[in-house]
Structure 1
Amino acid sequence: MHFLVGIVSTFVLAQGASAAFGLTSSSSRFIVDTDGGLVFEVNKSNGDITSLKYNGVEYQGTSKASGINSGLGTSTVTGETVNGYVKITVKSSALPVTQYYVAKPKDAMIYMATYHTAEVDPGELRWLARLKTSELPTGVHGNVGDTRGCTAIEGKDTFKCSNGQTRCKMYTSDRFIDDKVHCVSGSKASVCMVMPGVAYETSASGPFMRDINSQTGDSDQELYWYMNSGHVRTESWRFGLQGPYAMAFGATNYKPSDTLDTSFFSTLSIQGYVAASGRGTVSGTTSGVADGFETVVHFHNTNAQYWAKSTGGKYTSSQMKPGTYGVNLYKQEFLVANDTVTVTAGKTATKDIASKEPSLPVIWRIGEFDGQPFDLKNGDKIERMHPSDTRMGTWGGSFTVGSSKATDFPMALWSKEGGSATVKFTLTQEQVKGHVFRIGTTLSFKGGRPSVKVNSWTGTDPGAPTLIDSRGVTRGAYRGYGNVYTWTVPSSAFVVGSNTLTVGVYGSGDASWLSANYIVDALELQD
């Protein structure tokens, strides 16, 4: 009896030892047990993650591994325990990228950071976890990126289903300023990307940039964090350390905190990591943005970017690397002021910034100049579906000042689809004089810009805007450079009584929805 108890006790101890936190290895894999329910394996030759077991269930897909882009290729992969944490370093031989995987005891997360010194072909840098759709069938924002059973209608990424609804992985995106946690889920678990603190500091294109978060396919549920890409990008790449960020596992409907503490990275010798002691902050006041609009302060230079939302007219930035930064003030997403500030390590700089948007008297205005198209027709749907989706309203149309609503004017115009939009308005004798017509746009494709005609008068072509060589409105994007166009309309163009403004598109293209187009922010006739 005593001999049998000894055998059982030894077996139980062995089981406990196998579940303890730590790093082990085989001839081809590093195996990390977090002692928090998560065990993952890393290929020693290329740094791919080949197994992701949470509470005994395998979530890693079977066809392809998880990793940076589509894999870093041949790499030098090392594993070690540093100051109580497991650290795996993957230094690619083919790409200018070093990837770090870090595990913390009793924690069902893989903490990561990505260091890069140059742009990575084909122009994007992303974390991509290929997970099992059978275990995690629900993507970010539900089914908007679920392409199963649907047919490609544009490129290889935009699909239409038999019910006329459209799907695209870009429809899963959210603004960087809001996208701190996004998750895919199933009946047993959720798996989430967490981008806390200064995770976006080396990304590009500011607080309103959006990128792919997930895509649901027949076998794989793809979970992303896009660090840099060419998807409606308005800035050049930044280089250095991306992160820290994390992939977290939890129960169904689990959502980890977006204030995840990653300060322990300062003890791990991570290339490019700048600890809090080497950073400074900026605080101050904002003024001049009307109530009801979000106020955003954006800091940027060629090395880093940061942002903060102002509450009650006050803001404080996240911890920033030292340097001189441009400062943008936004009313929602409409630029209303800019300035500069210098950040010094260990200090808080003060920068008060006020809106410089002029207060102009107008005869009429459609929509709000806020850098967003959501208050116009179909604007409430454009982030999550293609313009041809059966749930969309018609495009083009007519607006009558005094009786129509903003939702009667289309949020986008095409040179080949949707036709033009007209605005009918009346003027008194006193109002028949010269006026300025102003139209704001948020994004353009193939040189699309407004054409305007008031009665028989035609405005001059304002010229093509700066090209963003990326599909936009058909992939759920609405944010570009935010151009505002004005025309001085002579008094001879107007008549007493009924007048008609026709708004169209300069530009061309060889496909209907991919012809020249632009997204409308707001338009007004100034008094």
Structure 2
Amino acid sequence: MFISGLILASLALWGKGVEAAFGLTTNTDTYIVDAGSSNPLKFTVDRSNCDITSINYYGSELQYQSTGSHIGSGLGSATVTATQSGDYIKITCETDTLTHYYVAHSGDSIIYMATYTTAEPSVGELRYIARLNADLLPNEEPFGTVSNIAGGTAIEGSDVYLVGSETRSKFYSSERFIDDQRHCVSGSAHRVCMILNQYETSAGGPFHRDINTNNVGSYTGLYWYMNSGHVQTESYRQGLHGPYLMYFSRSGTPSTNIDTSFFADLSIKGYVATSGRGYVSGTASGADSSMKWVVHWYNDAAQYWTYTSSSGSFTSPAMKPGTYTMVYYQGEYPVATSSVTVTAGSTISKNISGSVKTGTTIFKIGEWDGQPTGFLNAPSQLRMHPSDTRMSPWTSTPTYTVGTTSPSSFPMALFKSVNSPLTIKFTATSAQTGAATLRIGTTLSFAGGRPQVTVNSYSGSVPSAPANLDSRGVTRGAYRGFGEVYDVGLPGGSIVAGTNTITISVVSGSSGDEFLSPNFIFDCVELFQ
């Protein structure tokens, strides 16, 4: 009995605290990888389809057992091979248009991954989803329960739910690409983080968002979305997506500064080492200094971005050689565009300057920042549905009086079937009764929604329909699309000395119910001469 107890105790120590042997086990149906880490990590890959079917970390099974973790909704079938060389194990999964890699490095509690594509999957979404044990990993970080739909009732499509009195959706877990280097799921004894070195071959730019986590009750999903149809403003890019990785820990939040340069030695399709890249450095100037500035580079093959320093200086990430469009933003509003050509092994010097140009302002509601910052319900819209009872009523401001009403009472969105038209009242002097321009900046349109304007007795023309993104927006926590700007030219005499009334209505050939009626999101409204 004493000997048996010692054996059991030894096995427990081996499972939870003793570094195991790094290695690859090949079975008829599976590959089993032992990472050889001090907190033991073993994972199993199905040789027929590339699914991860088991993730055993520190003695606990973290993989959801009914469905695997995989690219897209699973490859269905793939040619799966594995090699071990020195401190690295590489599993390669190949189809006609996609190659996915799992990599283990001896001693790391990490599953390194990369995905090479030559065409978008037929399902239209390129993502990796780890389906993890919700009993052990119920928590979602950093935004908490906003995307936990366990026990909820669907209220819009199959992706927005009512849980108790709160609306929740997997879309509410999103973060801007420029700020999203890590998102995690956790429990009392485990944490698993998806860590992203870059979105180089994804689509959408620095301010795009997509699904990060989703506790559905039976499992907790941990995602990396590379391409999707969710308010997508660019064509999909193909090539190597990643490296990206799942980092396993018992507590604490891992650094995002993890070296993946060893991928250069692993024969990974499409991988470009730092030595084969170049940089752009320079100074941005002229934009509103009260906002953060971003510089963005993109072409059909790649995209990059960086925040500037407070003085406007910047250095790009390491970029693939090529010619790029270069955009300078104040907040998320573009103020200048240029072009630059990057060559391997060199740093190109390129300054950029720009600002928002209007005229002599009569009034302005909001700021030209490419976001609905400061408007009614804007602080909540990213994490809840517009119908949520925690939102302020959308009809609470039928009339906005310039100089009296707070901008925080100006609705961030105008819905054809909810709060359209919106009335704005302002006072003009006799010197302001000449010709003027009313500029309405929007960030996102749904179902063709765009503004039609009346100023006193003058009616502006109906603007052309904006580009159709074919995607729900405001109800799924999105606010950024193509960012249309509408200029309404007002002839002299349209504005009168004294009190003036503007109405802004949502115009569209389509109709809909409440928050799925045609709508648009405001960026800024400015009247100037």
Judge same fold: TM > 0.5, yes or no.
Answer: yes
Q: Describe how 1:207-356 pairs up with structure 2 within 5 A.
A: 207-252=206-251, 254-311=252-309, 312-356=311-355
Query: C-alpha displacement at 1:449, in angstroms?
Result: 0.6
Contact residue 279 and residue 345 of structure 1 kept, 8 A: yes
Partner of 1:21: 22
Q: Describe how 1:170-181 pairs up with structure 2 within 5 A.
A: 170-181=171-182
Partner of 2:162: 160
Query: C-alpha displacement at 1:22, in angstroms?
Result: 1.3
| Percent identity over paired residues | 51
Query: C-alpha displacement at 1:313, in angstroms?
Result: 1.0
Q: Distance in 2 between matches of 1:40 and 1:52?
A: 4
Q: Are 1:32 and 2:33 an aligned pair? A: yes
Query: C-alpha displacement at 1:487, in angstroms?
Result: 0.8
Give a deviation string over 1:21-77, Cα, whole Å, max 9, x none: 111122211111112221111111111000011100111002100010111111111
Selected match of 1:54 from 37, 57, 61: 57
Partner of 1:143: 145
Partner of 2:66: 63
Q: How many residues align?
A: 513
Contact residue 356 and residue 368 of structure 2 kept, 8 A: no
Partner of 1:498: 499
Q: Distance in 1 between matches of 2:87 and 2:108?
A: 13
> Quick check: 224-233 or 285-294, which moved more?
285-294
Q: Distance in 2 between matches of 1:117 and 1:83?
A: 30
Q: Distance in 2 between matches of 1:231 and 1:466?
A: 15
Q: Distance in 2 between matches of 1:35 and 1:174?
A: 33
Measured at CA, do residues 15 and 482 of structure 1 come closer, stay the same or move farther in structure 2, by a change above 3 Å? Answer: closer
Query: C-alpha displacement at 1:356, in angstroms?
Result: 4.2
Selected match of 1:43 from 20, 39, 46: 46
Q: Describe how 1:500-515 pairs up with structure 2 within 5 A.
A: 500-507=501-508, 508-515=510-517
Partner of 1:391: 390
Contact residue 329 and residue 353 of structure 1 kept, 8 A: yes
Query: C-alpha displacement at 1:494, in angstroms?
Result: 2.2
> Quick check: 503-512 or 56-65, which moved more?
503-512
Q: Are 1:182 and 2:172 an aligned pair? A: no
Q: Distance in 1 between matches of 2:422 and 2:393?
A: 11
Does the residue aligned with 1:235 lie in a helix, a strand or coil? coil
Query: C-alpha displacement at 1:110, in angstroms?
Result: 0.2
Q: Are 1:133 and 2:134 an aligned pair? A: yes
Contact residue 83 and residue 268 of structure 1 kept, 8 A: no
Contact residue 288 and residue 355 of structure 2 kept, 8 A: no
Measured at CA, do residues 79 and 166 of structure 1 come closer, stay the same or move farther in structure 2, by a change above 3 Å? Answer: same
Q: Distance in 2 between matches of 1:189 and 1:244?
A: 23
Give a deviation string over 1:82-127, Cα, whole Å, max 9, x none: 34211111113xx511110001111111000000100111211000
Q: Distance in 1 between matches of 2:502 and 2:439?
A: 12
Query: C-alpha displacement at 1:495, in angstroms?
Result: 2.2
Q: Distance in 2 between matches of 1:161 and 1:420?
A: 32
Contact residue 395 and residue 419 of structure 1 kept, 8 A: no
Q: Distance in 1 between matches of 2:224 and 2:211?
A: 7
Measured at CA, do residues 333 and 15 of structure 1 come closer, stay the same or move farther in structure 2, by a change above 3 Å? Answer: closer
Contact residue 409 and residue 421 of structure 1 kept, 8 A: no
Letter of the 2:282 counterpart: G
Q: Distance in 1 between matches of 2:152 and 2:429?
A: 54
> Quick check: 516-525 or 15-24, which moved more?
15-24
Q: Describe how 1:106-125 pairs up with structure 2 within 5 A.
A: 106-125=107-126
Letter of the 1:384 counterpart: R
Q: Are 1:524 and 2:523 an aligned pair? A: no
Moved over 4 A (4+): 14-18
Q: Distance in 2 between matches of 1:121 and 1:143?
A: 31
Query: C-alpha displacement at 1:459, in angstroms?
Result: 0.8
> Quick check: 421-430 or 346-355, which moved more?
421-430
Letter of the 2:34 counterpart: D
Partner of 2:409: 408
Does the residue aligned with 1:380 lie in a helix, a strand or coil? helix
Partner of 1:474: 475
Calculate the aligned-residue CA RMSD, in Å: 1.8
Does the residue aligned with 1:204 lie in a helix, a strand or coil? coil
Q: Distance in 2 between matches of 1:505 and 1:116?
A: 41
Contact residue 337 and residue 353 of structure 1 kept, 8 A: yes
Q: Distance in 2 between matches of 1:408 and 1:74?
A: 54
Q: Distance in 2 between matches of 1:120 and 1:279?
A: 28
Letter of the 1:145 counterpart: S
Contact residue 115 and residue 240 of structure 2 kept, 8 A: yes
Q: Describe how 1:61-100 pairs up with structure 2 within 5 A.
A: 61-92=64-95, 96-100=97-101
Partner of 1:191: 192
Q: Distance in 2 between matches of 1:427 and 1:297?
A: 38
Q: Are 1:374 and 2:376 an aligned pair? A: no
Query: C-alpha displacement at 1:359, in angstroms?
Result: 5.3
Letter of the 2:23 counterpart: G
Q: Distance in 2 between matches of 1:358 and 1:169?
A: 38
Q: Distance in 2 between matches of 1:344 and 1:473?
A: 40
Give a deviation string over 1:260-294, Cα, whole Å, max 9, x none: 11000001000110111111111111001122211
Give a deviation string over 1:180-221, Cα, whole Å, max 9, x none: 00001111111110001xx31110011111000011112100
Contact residue 202 and residue 241 of structure 2 kept, 8 A: yes
Q: Distance in 2 between matches of 1:475 and 1:217?
A: 17
Letter of the 1:269 counterpart: S
Q: Distance in 2 between matches of 1:357 and 1:432?
A: 24
Contact residue 82 and residue 268 of structure 1 kept, 8 A: no
Q: Distance in 2 between matches of 1:73 and 1:82?
A: 28
Letter of the 1:387 counterpart: P
Q: Distance in 1 between matches of 2:512 and 2:369?
A: 32
Contact residue 449 and residue 505 of structure 1 kept, 8 A: yes
Query: C-alpha displacement at 1:81, in angstroms?
Result: 1.0
Query: C-alpha displacement at 1:132, in angstroms?
Result: 1.1
Contact residue 170 and residue 213 of structure 2 kept, 8 A: yes
> Quick check: 16-25 or 109-118, which moved more?
16-25
Partner of 2:200: 201
Contact residue 415 and residue 520 of structure 2 kept, 8 A: yes
Instruction: Provide TM-score, normalisation by structure 1.
Output: 0.94
Partner of 1:444: 445
